[in-house]
Structure 1
Amino acid sequence: MTDFTELFAREFSVWHMVVRGTVVYWFLLLVFRFVLRRDVGSMGVADLLFVVLVADAASNAMQGEYKSISDGLVLLTTLIAWNFGLDWLSYRFAWFAKFLEPQPEVLVRHGRVNRKAMKREMITMEELEGKLREGGVESLSQVRIARLESDGKLSVFTVDGRKPGDDVQESGPPGR
């Protein structure tokens, strides 16, 4: 049977774990931010990265890939500190928030497609038209503005001022 104290003894130095966690966090953050910009979904890039890294670090700590719980706790603390720090910096400094999250990109304005933005975001006409149809927009001529948001969703406003998906109710009592 393993000695209870071995569970909490550190195999690696604290700085070793902090540097390892920091390097992995920043590498993945930059990859997600600049290479996989819009493929994240509704969570922010830093949030998704944090969840993935914490899950992996916690798994290693619990399954014994580290020789001690303390090594896992040091790595988890490092990841938590970076996540909190980046959230705080984004809140305090607009330029930092712009660095972490891409700005919304206008794909359609007054029915005209912004081909440069479509190419930059690697979105095909078929994908754009499919997303517009999902929102109840039948043709590009109905679109006042359509933006690709930083979370990967498409915001659409129509010429008549309705947001796609709003139900149009007919006036007058039913049955007449």
Structure 2
Amino acid sequence: DFRSVIGREIVTVNGQDFDFLANQRAYLNGTEAYGEYLFNPYWSVYGNFAYTFGKNLDTNDPFSRIPPTQGILGVRWRDTARQSYVDFYTWLVRRQERYSQFNQGDVRFIPGGTPGYGTLNLRAGTALGRHQNHRVSIALENITDKYYRVLGSGVDGTGFNAIFGYELIH
């Protein structure tokens, strides 16, 4: 927990607004968890979860840019002998409506709240060659071409995306 934070305070003098930085009391708390369950040497399920809450105790205003609750849930196949894997997962992000007063009117923040979203994704890769020193991979992200916007970014998320990779290890 934070005991103090440098916050912004707007003061109006003779009809003119002034923006000051001031020490203020704050509360910031969060948690993150990750787990993986191995069914056998090849198959596993995994996931992570992240939650953050922040509040300026002097103004009772939410902190700016606190990410929404989010997590990943996936299933993975891997063969360590062949250095191969296939990974299917979803990224889930909850709606965020707790905007700081300083985010109101900022075009990077969607009025009324940033919608939640979920993407489906697939990654696969293997090692090739006599010494398994050639590694190839493919990632298919946002397979359903879901519209989303990362909180406060002002940029729409990528649509369907394919990434091909090659790595030579010598």
TM range (shorter): under 0.3
> Which structure has the larger Rg over C-alpha atoms?
1
Higher strand share: 2
Which gives a bigger RCO, structure 1 or 2 (Cα 8 Å, sep 6+)?
A: 1
Higher helix share: 1
- Give the TM-score of the pair, scaled to structure 2: 0.20
- Give the TM-score of the pair, scaled to structure 1: 0.20
